[in-house]
Amino acid sequence: MSAQTRFGPLVSDRGVTFRLWAPAASEVSVVLDTPIAMSKRDGWFKAHVKDAGPGTRYRFKIDGEIEIPDPASHFQPDDVHGPSEVIDHRFAWQCQDWKGLPWAQAVFLEVHVGTFTSGGTFRAIVERLDHIAETGITALELMPLSDFPGRWNWGYDGVLPFALDSSYGRPQDLKALIDAAHSRGLMVFLDVVYNHFGPEGNYLDRIAPAFFSSAQTPWGGAIDYRVPEVRAYAIENALHWLRDYRFDGLRLDAVHTIVTPGEPSILTDLSTAVGALAAESGRHIHLVLENDDNRSSLLAPAQDPPAGRYRAQWNDDYHHAWHVFLTAESAGYYRDYGNAAHHIARTLSQGFAYQGEPSPHRKGQTRGEPSQHLPRASFVNFLQNHDQIGNRPKGERLSVLASPTALEAALAILLLQPSPPLLFMGEEWGATEPFPFFCDLSGERAEAVRKGRKAEFADAYAKHGSDIPDPLAAETRAAAVLDWEARGKPAHAARLALTRTLLAARRRWIVPLLPAMTSEGSVSFDNGVLSARWHAGEKSLLLLANLSDAANPRLQTLAWGDPIWGTSPPRKLPPWSVYAAIGGS
């Protein structure tokens, strides 16, 4: 722990200094074998214990009433209500010289640690890194790791942001995974949540109610980033993952629900601090947003280090338009994408589909900012992710919702279009396991989750009833575990081979163009024919696709350049086929 940090235990050769910000407390003791009184100044409590060190377990006793874990605990061996453990972050890194990869090379695989393998641990993922690298993926993105209550969870309801959940392993195990990934040329990203705390195991409202404003998020009280200590807590957390674990980047969850961001925004200060770390270390560090507001003003993919802004945003518009096109669904937010072809073309040419237009789903409220001036690298595009699969009542993947032929064409376009693509674990071989929402709570909180899901998906429950998995049942989580043996089945093996060949073409032909690819492309999608062209200096990337059952569509764009995918020349594109080429501008 750096001496510049405010939160968490400060470890040295002379013992451990325990620190706690608890302005609402009158007296605090740190409890090891026996309580040790802590001194108080300006809302902070501090005590140096010379006999403490790595492995020491401790709690804080508040006003003689309750004992709580450290809100900045780095490890909770006995879950969120148990004692915290002092962690020594020294590690024998094998890839000492690893500096990361340029953003242009990013191809993501989003992974939930607990269901990616049957083992459900960091160490078990190490055994699958060769598969990831050989597929052509360059970045492993882990869903949130912060300690959550119970045995399993998606991770977005974590309550101790500095402590990885013990069900996945110990801190040394996570470092071993990241080191092994780096040795294979893979970046590792982490999802982090700065918009709320989970419902069980957080004691901040007792010791520091100033952490929260009077506003609410969809999941609980809003964090108040106008308070300096609260702002420092989030920034130190981001630096903790990037510095102590050597993650290559962070994806910030649902920043549009940060209700009280302060001035300047916590997003600006956090990015500035990360930029300073990147500059000091000489590392490529990438920050990505999830932001339903489509705020293009936050994005600057070429700015290095980030220094106040963000490399890219998850592009939900891209997903929604393709989902409607592939499934014809129109409920919920999908009603905004009824003209799917138009929105697909706009996302491929300009990034966001909604750039200030009224959203029917949002009762006519405008959504988004103009994005046509941004480089293609500003948008992480995908056909599936944890939200878009798991927020369905039954958690179905596109592999069981869409035509295989149509889905393969959409996959080809995703992996050949310029923006960084993201796959959800198993998507590379067309996995069919569902990924429904699951958690492990008990009592009133468990029933609240059940009732909340039934209210959110009332129509689906009325239609499917008991077919919808119980989010609290062990079987629901077990159903989401990937079946790695399925890769050997003919259909899955063929899909994996297709994914690997597409990513090899992307790496060889498209990635070199991306640094010079700046503004919007020229894209049309009419009568089932998608025609796209993006300029990159003196060269251009051409993408043609017949996304229909028509055998002989009329092509508006003539084939030219050197083909990198498909049959040349494509005078008559077969149904559901894709052609790509590179030529002069």
Hey, which residues are catalytic here?
253, 290
Scanning 145-265, the segments in alpha helix (DSSP H) are 171-183, 204-207, 228-244
| Closest CA relative to residue 40, chosen from 54, 26, 30, 50 | 26
Alpha carbon distance 147, 201 (integer Å):
9
Return the beta strands (E) in 97-224 as ranges. Answer: 108-111, 139-142, 146-147, 160-164, 187-192, 212-217, 220-223
Host H or E run for residue 577: strand 577-584
- d(CA 351, CA 535) in angstroms, rounded, equals 15
Q: Are 234 and 71 in contact (CB under 8 A)?
A: no
Q: Which tokens hold the place of 25?
A: 């407390």
Long-range CB contacts for residues 559-566, cutoff 8 Å, separation at least 24: 564/416, 564/505, 564/508, 564/509, 564/510, 565/412, 565/416, 565/502, 565/505
- Nearest one of 572, 507, 537, 551 to 107, comparing CA atoms: 507
Separation between Cα atoms, residue 305 and residue 115, nearest integer Å: 34
**Which token pair is 103?**
């953003």
d(CA 424, CA 140): 10
**Orientation angle between helical segments 316-327 and 404-416, nearest 10 degrees:** 160
Q: Which string of b and e fits 271-303 if b means at least 16 CB within 10 Å?
A: bbbbbebbeeeebbbbbbbbbbebbbebbbbee
DSSP-assigned beta bridge partners for residue 546 = 529, 577
Amino acid, single-letter form, for residue 270: L
Instruction: Quote the CA–CA distance of 60 and 375 in Å, as a whole number.
Output: 49
Pairing of strands 421-424, 379-382: parallel
Distance CA 59, CA 187 (A): 35
Residues 205 and 211 sit within 8 Å (Cβ to Cβ): yes
